[in-house]
Amino acid sequence: MRSELGTPVGLVPATGVLIGAEEREAVDRVLSSGLLAQGAEVATFESEFAAYVHDRPCVAVNSGTSALLLGLLALGIGRGDEVVVPSFSFAATANAVALTGATPVFADIEPRHFCLDPAAVLAALTPRTAAVMPVHLYGHPASAELAAVAERHGLALVEDAAQAHLAALDGRPVGTLGQVAAFSFYPTKNMTCGEGGLVVCADDALARRVRLLRNQGMERRYANEIVGYNARMTDIHAAIGRVQLGRLPAWTRTRRANATFLSAALDDVAADHGLTLPAIAQGAEPVWHQYTLRAPRRDELVATLAGLGVQTGVYYPTPIHRLPAYDLDLDLPVTAAAAREVLSLPVHPALDQDGLERIVAATAQAVAE
């Protein structure tokens, strides 16, 4: 037997994609209109998203990776430039930099929040550094000091906010902390379009460049001003995104409540068995894309939890600089330890109270074994 989410009954799934009748109706509306490619739905989605990022100009694209790439290109970043990035992230973070022709320079992270360490960023700066690209990993905002470092050194701050829709830092929404920010709407993210991404820009001139890059360099048809991509979002995807965006505030509240429950219920177990539960930095309002803890015998715990019917995720077992695509021999000790020790428990809004309690009971049982 399978549940509504397609997972076997009895299993607590690691992620939960919530698609309902409203999304189906929205897709149907677009299909019936006959206007499927980028159009009015995309424009409306952009303005609805802008309401969450201080009305900064927003440009929707076909993926989070495209959002990062086009944002970097719009800033003029390319060959000869360096961009400081974390190695403890999804490869797309560094890939976007490399695809511009610039060099990703990997810096270490902070141990408690898994985001770029401002001191490591400072140490990585060279005369070629053009930008710093923090990732708000697991939905937790990266340190506010990174924006200060970028500003002091005349560098662009590019936020990889792929996992952090609606997160905030010192009262400011992520996506508004730098010159450019990229969000992802991949199905496992806090909201989805199926596939999709969005660039938030600090000003209209940047947004215009991203729009040109999105559409073959054209603003007017067949009047191509620059060399560009086809990175457009379709109205079908935007229609799904608009419904999901409407639900995002409630889902975010549920993620926060789930995380609060897990942290309270696992506190003693963690203290007794050497687990490190996620921490929240001063001024940070995370959105719990993942609920990630550290466990000294991580792989054993993952296997035992799976045997007890609780799916977990390991994001990310191999630092980007160690992947065959990069294969760099760097010493990033905090990154290396995180890659060995992290696992993420389910925290998504499709969990019910029974699921939450089973996660707690299974974790307590697994560490006691």
Ligand X SMILES: Cc1ncc(COP(=O)(O)O)c(C=O)c1O
| Residue ranges that bind ligand X, judged by CB under 6 A | 63-65, 89-90, 92-93, 135, 160, 162-163, 184, 186, 197
Which CB atom, from 66 or from 252, has the smaller least distance to ligand X? Answer: 66
Which CB atom, from 238 or from 367, has the smaller least distance to ligand X? Answer: 238
Which CB atom, from 63 or from 344, has the smaller least distance to ligand X? Answer: 63
Q: How far is the CB of 354 from ligand X (least distance, A)?
A: 29
Token pair of 35 as six digits: 């206007």
Transcribe 154-215 into DSSP letters.
T-EEEEE-TT-TT-EETTEETTSSSSEEEEE--TTSSS--SS-EEEEESSHHHHHHHHHHHB
Task: Work out the burial of residue 37: count CB atoms within 10 Å of its CB; fewer than 13 is exposed, 13-18 middle, 19 or more buried.
Answer: exposed
Which CB atom, from 210 or from 269, has the smaller least distance to ligand X? Answer: 210
Q: Which amino acid is at 6?
A: G
Q: In this structure, what are the phi and psi dihedrals at residue 109, rounded to the nearest 5 degrees? A: -110, 170
Q: How far is the CB of 258 from ligand X (least distance, A)?
A: 20
Q: How far is the CB of 184 from ligand X (least distance, A)?
A: 3
Residue 190 contacts residue 174 (beta carbons within 8 Å): no
Q: How far is the CB of 352 from ligand X (least distance, A)?
A: 26
Q: Are strands 180-184 and 156-160 parallel, antiparallel or unpaired?
A: parallel
Which CB atom, from 184 or from 363, has the smaller least distance to ligand X? Answer: 184
Which CB atom, from 52 or from 186, has the smaller least distance to ligand X? Answer: 186
Q: How far is the CB of 195 from ligand X (least distance, A)?
A: 6
**Residue number of the CB atom closest to ligand X:** 64
Q: How far is the CB of 181 from ligand X (least distance, A)?
A: 11
Q: How far is the CB of 224 from ligand X (least distance, A)?
A: 25
Task: Work out the burial of residue 163: count CB atoms within 10 Å of its CB; fewer than 13 is exposed, 13-18 middle, 19 or more buried.
Answer: buried
Rounded CA separation 81/101 (Å): 8
Q: How far is the CB of 101 from ligand X (least distance, A)?
A: 19
Q: How far is the CB of 191 from ligand X (least distance, A)?
A: 12
Which CB atom, from 150 or from 162, has the smaller least distance to ligand X? Answer: 162
Rounded CA separation 46/42 (Å): 6
Q: Which residues on neighbouring strands pair with residue 172, listed in sequence order? A: 169
- Please, where are the H alpha helices in 51-143? 64-74, 92-99, 118-124
Q: Which amino acid is at 263?
A: S
Which CB atom, from 65 or from 292, has the smaller least distance to ligand X? Answer: 65
Which CB atom, from 90 or from 251, has the smaller least distance to ligand X? Answer: 90
Residue 118 contacts residue 143 (beta carbons within 8 Å): yes
Alpha-carbon Rg for the chain, nearest whole angstrom, is 21
Token pair of 269 as six digits: 């177990």
Rounded CA separation 83/104 (Å): 5
Q: How far is the CB of 97 from ligand X (least distance, A)?
A: 11
Which CB atom, from 14 or from 270, has the smaller least distance to ligand X? Answer: 14
Residue 67 contacts residue 189 (beta carbons within 8 Å): no
Q: What angle do CA 151, 154, 157 make, to 5 degrees?
A: 60
- Secondary structure E strands in 2-155: 58-61, 82-86, 103-107, 129-132
